[in-house]
Amino acid sequence: MTADLTGRVALVTGAARRTGRGLALALARAGADVVVHYGRSQREAEQVVAQIVADGRRAWAIAADLARPDAAEALVEATLAAAGRLDILVNNVGNYPLGDPLGLEPDAFRATLETNLTAPYALIRSARAALAASGQGHVINLGYAGVEHLVANTRAMAYQVSKAGLLVLTRSLAQALGPQGVRVNMVSPGHLDYSVDIPDDIGAHVPLARPAQVADIAGAVLFLLSTAGGYITGANIDVAGGYRLSLADTLE
């Protein structure tokens, strides 16, 4: 079942490039007007806006440094000022520092947590009144495949810590916001076709023997936003082709 998002406004963080861009375009194709958040990629964000507008929807590019404590509230205020409402919040931004777990400076570790975990919390908190007023408010957080069956990946420790926390946040806020009619869910991609750590022998790690495409992630998001997904909250959907179904099959 295809989601009909006509008349709804979506805010997608990190929407200038890659997964965020694909999600913003998919939401617009489903009928939503879209706020395209970006950090530094202004030109790319404006290109996404232009494509959405050319397809007949409204769109705005709004910059915010989500590592700053006050940025989330300002981003929500700017969204409401531009669009007049907010129905869908997609927390897509995710810093992904790789390397020795003790090689990451404390400030860089803190910045990862600020962007990947604190910012989604602050955005949801700032947007909760608008989402409740929508009557069909929905938050979708982007996680990573296997987050519910955690096997430590020392090369991506800070990222894992932040996304494991985001799963707890998802389920906690699903309970807190459910009585207000706001749903909170998580979609967790595995290897995407542009992932920085995609293995050469992907068939040895992914049963479906291919990396995900953005359309796969968008499909799960649109399902949650459709009538068919309308009674789902606090859920996590792995979109990973079976990656990490076995705890013994870890990727070095």
Sheet holding 88-91, edge to edge: 59-63, 33-38, 9-12, 88-91, 138-142, 183-189, 236-239
Q: Which of 130, 41, 138 is nearest to 93 (CA)?
A: 41
As annotated, the active-site residues are: 159
Kindly state the tokens that stand for 194. 């542009």
Kindly state the tokens that stand for 118. 């604190």
- CB contact at 8 A, 117 and 66: no
SS3 122: helix
In angstroms, the CA 102 to CA 190 distance is 25
In angstroms, the CA 226 to CA 86 distance is 17
The CA dihedral of 144, 150, 155, 157, to the nearest 10 degrees, is: 90
* Residue type at position 31: G
Could you identify the residue written with the tokens 């995710």? Answer: 94
In angstroms, the CA 93 to CA 96 distance is 10
Kindly state the tokens that stand for 4. 């009909």
- Write down the H helix ranges in the chain: 18-29, 42-54, 71-83, 106-113, 119-134, 157-177, 214-225
